[in-house]
Each structure stands twice: as structure tokens, then as C-alpha cells.
Amino acid sequence: MPHPLGNPPSKIIAVHLNFRSRAKERGRTPAHPSYFLKPPSSLAGTEEAIIRPRGCQLMGFEGEIALVIGSRAQRVAPEDGWSYVRWVTAANDAGVYDLRYADRGSNLRSKGADGFTPVGPRLLDARQLEPAGLRLRTWVNGELVQDDTTDTLLFPFGELVADLSRLVTLEPGDVILTGTPAGASVAEPGDVVEVEVGDGRLSTGVLRSPIASADHDLEPWGAQPKVDRAEEESAYGSAYVPGPFLDESLARGLRSVAVATISAQLRRHGLPHMSVDGVRPLSPAATMVGVAHTLRYLPLREDLFERYGTGMNAQKRAIEQLRPGHVLVMDARRDTSAGTLGDILALRAQQRGAAGVVTDGGLRDSAAVAALGLPVFHGGAHPSVLGRRHVPWDTGVPVACGGALVQPGDLIVGDDDGVVVVPPDLAAELIVDCREQERQERFITEQVRAGASVDGLYPLGPAWRDAYETWCKGETQ
């Protein structure tokens, strides 16, 4: 189906970074908007395949809101900028990160290929829309991966029109791609990317773009596809998985020692405040080792709950961002008088491959969650939903869970004694020290059972050192 714009625009202008969620994901917030151009030949309509060139691996998608200029705009004021917009539609700012290095900044080959700017399927009359009241959603194979609203833009639409028109005359039919929210990532051949824009009353309909592979090799002249870890991380965004989250030998080592032992060794390393206090395992004999992915709740404010607590809120985004090996760590300010997790979201976390969940708040549907077999450590059972006490605020940030500071990427270990936070760069050394401590404790236990006094024995003192060394040689034979 051809794109709905009719005559090709004189230019397509794309904003690099505009949604707050995307800025947080990228780790930077620009003071002013910046732009790049896409050629009109990149336009496509719904149901038209986006073709990934052979040799490329990172076919990026970015759901966006496209503005179509209705009248000539030159040096307009920000408060008048929206009046120059005639139509609004959905867009996918597609591109291959494998070629981004070749035209760094301009993105010409990486984002300007034929068919890399699908728009449509319908144009919405801008005069019937509130520019700060639009919702953008993107799905990949039916799974919602982007969901954000235009009241979170860094640079409102009218400001973009005004900024551009200071130096560049915008002609009728020109297109402005206004930026993508968090969740933009990579699609594979065979995937289907869908984008929709609406305000609850009016909708662009779903812009549907199948991803396909080119049927020919990329010609050998010119820059060739190239991928490195930094480009992979940029392409995948919040979905980036840098190889295994946790080296399996390290994971086995942490599983082989008790949380109580790890806590003691952390204290000996000058870290006495690494336990997540006040949480208990939902099921007896539960063990958990994984990498922290964080979610922060703030106290309920009724006037903000509609904005932050409904729809694809931070709680749901955190669940959908989980990858195999993640432990979802929730900071609920130790307030257990409302649930922070129930059976449906726990099931979804399990399906995403989560290694476990830790919350210093309440747990709903505790029997159903226990039946899943997912390791869950919680502050206490409670029947109410989060809207009673909490607003899910943000994800992927440092949090305070049970009095412990947890950063995304910290290692989380749990057993019947509780949960501890392990700095990744200390883990290997801790495992060696923990194993030595537990070996000494096995020796000490044998001596106490044989009737020895703990004086000078526990902890192991100089008088017992030779006997311990002899015992160790026998244990290793």
C-alpha cells in the first residue's frame, strides 16, 4: 500500500532525541533538539516490507509521530508552531546500525535507504488534536515494546517547528519525525513491526512493516557493514544483552555458598550494609542468583497516579525489560501495606526468564505466585493493589530496597536466610573467601561434635591452625 502523503515532500527531518524515556535510556538529555535528514525516497506505506541489506545484523526500528507541514513556515514563534502542522501520522524511523559508522551524524546510508521511513496508514487532522495529548505505541510480533505520551517530550511540537524555521524554510508536505520513546530495538527478518498514534478518540490505524532480507548481496564498493559492542548496545537499547548476564562459573560459585557466609565476607571487606532487610522467601529452600534490574515506587499521589500509574507504567515496563538472568529488585520504601507484584506479572517475569524477584513491599496472590516456582523474596503478603500506597515511578535506576543500595547490574543472591547485594567486581574474590570460611566451619563443627570447646576454636585460632591444615589435606585426598 503506498504511503498516504501523495506528492513526495521536499525533505524529511528527523529529531535525534526527544522523549524523556529515551533520553534516560541513552543516558543524556540534550539542551536543544538536533536533527538529521532522510531522503524522500525512503518513504513507504503500511504492509510494505523493510528490507535489511545482506551482511547487516542490526535492523533498528523506532516508532515515531510524524508531523506533516501544511503551510510555508519561516521564522515562526514557538507558540505558533503547531498551527503550521496540517496532518499527524505514525512512522517508523528504521535503519541499520551496521552502517552508522560510515556517515556518523548524517545517518544517510544507515537510515536513508529506500523503504526505511514507513508512514501511515491514515493522516489525522492536526486541528482536531491536542499536541500534548497523543499516545504512541509500537509492537513487535504482537508484543508491546513502546508506549509513551507526548506530554513527556523534551521539545514540544510547536518548538520543533519554530526551531527549524529559524534557518530552514519548511514547505507544505515536509515531514518532521519527532523522536522515539524508550523501547526501540532490533527486529529480525520475519518479524513484524507495528506502530499506532492516537488520542483515545482518533487513531492513525496500525502502520504494519514486515522485516525481510535483501535478495542480493550489497555491492562491494563503498563502506561495508561493521558491528562492534558499542553499536550493538546502541541498537538494542534497553533490550541489550551483552552476552551472558552472569558468567556461569561465577553463578555456580555464588550458588555454592550460603547467603550468611557471603554477608560475613562482605562485612570483612568493609561492606556491612549489603543485606536486603525485612524480606523473606515466599517458598522454603528458595535459592536465587542473578543480576539486578530495578524498579522504584514512590508514595501515592492521587493527582499523579493517572499519569504514572496507569497504562504501560514503570512497573509493566520493568517486567517487559527483564531478560534471562535478571532479578527484578523493587524499592517500595519498606511499605508492605499494598501489593507490588501479583500472579500475572510474576508469570510474565518468569516467561521473560527472570531469575527471581525481590520487593521490600507487599506481595499479592501469594499462593498463586508460589505455585509458579519463581524465587520471590518479599516484605509480606497483602491483598490490595499498588494504587493504595504506591506509584510506580521509574526503572533501571539505583534504588534502596530493604535498606540496601542496589544499582542495576549488581549481583543478587538469596536463600532461606535472606538476600544480599554483591558488587560484581568483588564476586570472584568473595567466592574464594566464602569457600574457605565454610571449610573452616566444617572443621570446627566436627571438633565441636567431638566435644571440643569453642574457646580458641570458633573462630579458628592459632592453637587449632596445624590441626586444621592436616584436616584440609585429608579432605582433598
- 343 in a labelled binding site: yes
- 374 in a labelled binding site: no
- The bridge status of strand 95-96 relative to strand 59-61 is antiparallel
- 365 in a labelled binding site: yes
- 405 in a labelled binding site: no
357, β-bridge pairs: 328, 376
Contact indicator for 57, 228 with CB cutoff of 8 Å: no
- 342 in a labelled binding site: yes
CA-to-CA separations, 305 to 297, 298, 382, 391, 453, in angstroms, rounded: 11, 10, 20, 6, 61
Residue type, 436: E
| Separation of alpha carbons 189 and 57, rounded Å | 10
Binding site as annotated, residues: 342-345, 364-365
Binding site as annotated, residues for substrate: 342-345, 364
Binding site as annotated, residues for Mg(2+): 365
